[in-house]
Amino acid sequence: MIIQNKKIQFRDLGLMDYLSAFDYQEKLMKSVIDLKTKNRDRTDGIFEETPNYFLFVEHPHVYTLGKSGEEQNMLANAEKLKEINATFVKTNRGGDITYHGFGQIVGYPILDLDNFKSDIHLYMRNLEEVIIRTIAEYGLKGERSEGETGVWLDVGKPYARKICAMGVKTSRWVTMHGFALNVNTDLKYFEYIIPCGIKDKSVTSLKRELERKFSFEETENVKSKIKKHFADVFKAEFM
């Protein structure tokens, strides 16, 4: 009998370039999948619990294009990227193009969804719920936009704007990639792309909405709130 493991190992990676964090995620994902394969092939009925991980990281300026994205949504050429000290990476998550950079909280859950519920649609809605609950503590009403992932403000209005982007990959029900919540993010970097391939909506941050910069301590507090709501929504326990 396989028992669901709802404990999550937490790691804050600090500042790390995108490709290094990508490789680290893939390593963790592979270790979970390998263990699932081992469990599947056992004949003695003894199974090992599969682990879950949750990573926080901050990336230097980088634009990432999902596997279903359109490259024309990258508006800056190589010369411009060099000028603004940014890189461009094609990656294997779902979704289109987005930006990661300083002042942004990036969360990468590497979960075995068999430990929770094997439903990618529910997983995405739960990720959104975590951020909706988090920003509600700052007086912001986060919403979902039909047909578009992530968390938005003022959906259905001409000034609708995204505060948190999301994109994931799953293999054997193991997840990687995740969400990017704009806190102190320099929003001018979004001017060089069509964010998520959506032309008629803008991007925002906690700093812009609350009209104040978040200190290091306040940003750490946002992370704590995300962890709390993640544990609540997923009925999990952080280690």
Structure tokens, 97 = 């193009």
Would you say 177 and 170 are in contact if contact means Cβ atoms under 8 Å apart? no
Annotated active-site positions, please? 196
The string of DSSP letters for the chain reads: -PPP--EEEEEEEEE--HHHHHHHHHHHHHHHHHHHHHHHH-SSS--PPPP-EEEEEE-SSEEEE-TT--GGGB---HHHHHHTT-EEEE-SSSSSEEEE-TTEEEEEEE-BGGGS-S-HHHHHHHHHHHHHHHHHTTT---EEETTEEEEEESTTSTT-EEEEEEEEEEETTEEEEEEEEESS--GGGGGGB-GGG-SS-EE--HHHHHTSPPPHHHHHHHHHHHHHHHHHHHT-EE-
Task: Report the alpha-carbon distance of residue 176 to residue 21 in Å, rounded.
Answer: 11
